[in-house]
Structure 1
Amino acid sequence: MRFENRAVPIVLAAVLIDTIGFGIVLPVLPALIVRLGRVGIDDATRIAGYMLVAFAVAQFFAGPVLGTLSDRFGRRPVLIASMLAFGADYALMALAPTLAWLFLGRAIAGAAGAVYGPASSVIADVTPVEKRSAAFGYMNAAFGIGFIIGPALGGVLAGFGPRAPFIAAAVLALGNAAVMVALMPESLARAHRRPFRWRDAHIVGAFKPLFKTGNAAPLLLATVMWMLANMVYPTTWAFWATIRFHWSPGAVGWSLAYVGLVTAIVQIFVIAPTIGRIGDRGALIVGLLCAITGFLAFAFVQVGWQVYVIMLPAALQGFVAPALKGLLSRRIGPTQQGALQGGLGSMSSVASVISPFLMTQALAAGVERGFPGGAFLLAASFAVIALGIVVWTVLQPVPPTTGAVAEA
């Protein structure tokens, strides 16, 4: 694959390494909570849920701040500072003497994790609009591959103790920062920078420029619906597969690895040529149709091996997130890209709190009625709403706006 600027592969490698570092600690987090909190595994699960909320809340507030800072000072210093914060945070968690320190570490990780906004902004800065969605797809692929490698590596390192993966994650993050210092160019030209204002450094301020362009609000609503729908996989897959097919933890793990692999293949090899042929909007509609089909098929699937077949067309839902990002980024000028991407990160953090609750409740309600596919029906409903919004938006004319890139 060819990139328009050498900053892109560096950012993609940074996302990959950072996600590996995040995933490394997941296998040992329950044991560390049990040890530090002197609680049973049931209570540790609840505590881990509270930590997830702390992570998401910190990311919600930090996303627009980091994005707006990157619009003021450039992407490079913000990315480097975030990687340094990640490294310090994992080192802190490796040495944490109490649960309170772990909570502090998760909050810092959430704030530093908002770095995906500036990382996406690098892609928006240096990639032509017609290739931007494909580049966002590569970023999603790096994120997905990192979540395949990270937990597997964390499981191996867990043999050296529950704190060893945190040390490894700290080393990865600090090494990542060093590579950025040495090799990464700045992608935001000084002419495109703007003053930092706290009144812009929140989710409403981040999206304010979008509301000056046609049909931006419906696209944002479609994005929220998609974020809620797509969370069905990480939230309920393991429980659903265990209940529906009586799979062992090993079988669940292999199925997740397969999902990650197929999704990454789509992101790397399929998105770019498809968008080149049918455009962002066409790819978005195809992706949502495949997602809805996949959700419904998973809701009613009867035999375990069919899951692997269904995932092949369902993986084309990988078009959705990059196409939405691409369409939204076209609607504003270069001075606002950081704020936009930071705002999208905040929306994602909200979805990561709301959707797990909705999906798990739908799964439980369905199981009580003898139908384990309730969560996937709910996900299909969200995706249908997103598709309806997108189709309606496509039919509406987009008036020209100052500073925004005209949509092809």
Structure 2
Amino acid sequence: MFLILATAFLDILGIGILIPVLPDIITHFGVSEAWNPYSQGIYSIGMFLGGLVFGRLSDKYGRKNLLSVTTSFNLLGYIILWLSLSSGIISANLGFLFVVFLIARFVSGLGGAGLGVAQAYISDVSTSATKTKNMGMIGAAFGLAFLIGPAIGGLLSHWGIEYVILGCIVAITANLILILTVLKEPIKHEVEMHADHVPFYFSRPMIILFILSFGGTLAFSAVQSGSTQYYTDVFGFSGDQRGYTLSLVGLIAIIYQGGLIRFVRNAFSEIQMIQIAIALMSLSLYLFAVNRITYLIFPIIALFPIAMGTFQPAINALIADKAGKEVGKVMGYNTSVISIASIIGPFFVGTLYTMSYSLPFYISAGIAFILFIVAMIGLKK
């Protein structure tokens, strides 16, 4: 269990290192920071395509083998990104290099589909009683990466953007070595590869879960792709301050998903956890949109990792339980569902943000409220 959590940590550490300086990387190519959400959308397109393929293949060829493949794609993406920023290595106009940057984000997105494989691995080594807690642990690993990563990225940015990307490359290289040399294959799933005509995937409970997974990601995309620039435009935060704010969110995620989530699971069922989390998501997004007092940002953003830290482990555990032996395939599909929302979300946020800084957060709060109604009506104990 520790090794797959370490793998998840190193994988997301690269993203954590990169996120605080993404707006600076984009302006380096002479384009507006408004392209930041769109670049994240390109990443999500890669993740969507990878999710359709890699989770299913992991059922047949093994979790370890496919984690090696996805991590290799991730590493290749960061290497291409580093080359696009290294004018001493490649001499070309900024427009061409920006296209190379977008290609790099797409390739890393393909590697990001390893999330579904990692979740399938977690499901393989978990019982029904421990599945939600263990899904929460992978969330805690993500939180730790977002605690450490932005701080590393902010520090490395003082020497130059290229050093930030080198930090990402080191993290992903270490992850690939860990997977190839130490990580063991869990119980192998021998699943017949057949056309997707099985009615199970279109059953009412699974459709409801996929809708909630999609909608929750879409609503939360306002925070993921819009909050970094929002901190600067509304509250005047510097790059370092943005990084520290992301680290605070990561710290809360670690504490909550690494320890407190088990007490929540003991008190509530997965269905109740999903319903409570979506309600909290709607409330926190609304408060974030209306607030203009700097010191109130911090208690408000503390609600974000609690809401998502409750929602994601619970819904992932429910989906994995219903998947049976095809857990890799179904978790891969869920990764693709999430990716579709992550593709739409940044474009949706970027467009609304140009109209009003707060508009994406108001709309997202409304989406979460609708999801709450769907969860109350559609999920049955």
* Same topology, TM > 0.5: yes
Alignment pair present for 1:19 and 2:12:
yes
* Preserved CA contact (<8 Å) 2:37 2:226: no
1:321 is paired with a residue whose SS is helix
Q: Aligned residue for 2:211?
A: 221
What amino acid does structure 2 have at the position aligned with 1:326?
A
Q: Aligned residue for 1:86?
A: 74
Match of residue 310, structure 1, among 300, 305, 313:
300
Cα deviation per residue 1:363-394 (whole Å; 9 max; x = unaligned)?
A: 444x4xxxx54332211211112111111123
**1:187–1:25 CA distance, 2 compared to 1 (3 A):** same
**Structure 1 length-normalised TM:** 0.81
| Structure with greater Cα Rg | 1
Give me the whole-angstrom Cα distance separating, in 1, the residues matched to 2:229 and 2:37.
16
Give me the whole-angstrom Cα distance separating, in 2, the residues matched to 1:299 and 1:29.
23
* Preserved CA contact (<8 Å) 1:56 1:350: yes
1:231 is paired with a residue whose SS is helix
Measure how far apart 1:227 and its partner are: 0.9
Give me the whole-angstrom Cα distance separating, in 1, the residues matched to 2:171 and 2:224.
24
Aligned pairs for 1:25-36 within 5 A: 25-26=18-19
Give me the whole-angstrom Cα distance separating, in 1, the residues matched to 2:184 and 2:117.
14
* Preserved CA contact (<8 Å) 2:215 2:371: yes
Aligned length: 369
Give me the whole-angstrom Cα distance separating, in 2, the residues matched to 1:104 and 1:331.
36
Q: Aligned residue for 2:367?
A: 382
Alignment pair present for 1:351 and 2:350:
no
Cα deviation per residue 1:195-223 (whole Å; 9 max; x = unaligned)?
A: 345x55xxxx7x963324x5221221122
Give me the whole-angstrom Cα distance separating, in 1, the residues matched to 2:343 and 2:199.
24
What amino acid does structure 1 have at the position aligned with 2:288?
F
Give me the whole-angstrom Cα distance separating, in 2, the residues matched to 1:146 and 1:105.
21
Cα deviation per residue 1:151-190 (whole Å; 9 max; x = unaligned)?
A: 321233334443333333333222222222222221133x
Alignment pair present for 1:274 and 2:264:
yes
Q: Aligned residue for 1:139?
A: 138
Alignment pair present for 1:324 and 2:315:
yes
**1:252–1:172 CA distance, 2 compared to 1 (3 A):** closer
* Preserved CA contact (<8 Å) 1:359 1:378: no
Match of residue 65, structure 1, among 17, 38, 53:
53
Measure how far apart 1:323 and its partner are: 0.9
What amino acid does structure 1 have at the position aligned with 2:184?
P
What amino acid does structure 1 have at the position aligned with 2:8?
V
* Preserved CA contact (<8 Å) 2:221 2:342: yes
**Structure 2 length-normalised TM:** 0.86
Structure 2 stretches lacking a partner, 5+ long: 85-89
Structure 1 stretches lacking a partner, 5+ long: 1-7, 398-408
1:332 is paired with a residue whose SS is helix
Q: Aligned residue for 1:193?
A: 190
The percent of aligned pairs where both chains have the same amino acid is: 24
Give me the whole-angstrom Cα distance separating, in 1, the residues matched to 2:128 and 2:201.
16
1:68 is paired with a residue whose SS is helix
Measure how far apart 1:117 and its partner are: 0.8
Give me the whole-angstrom Cα distance separating, in 2, the residues matched to 1:33 and 1:255.
21
Q: Aligned residue for 1:5?
A: none
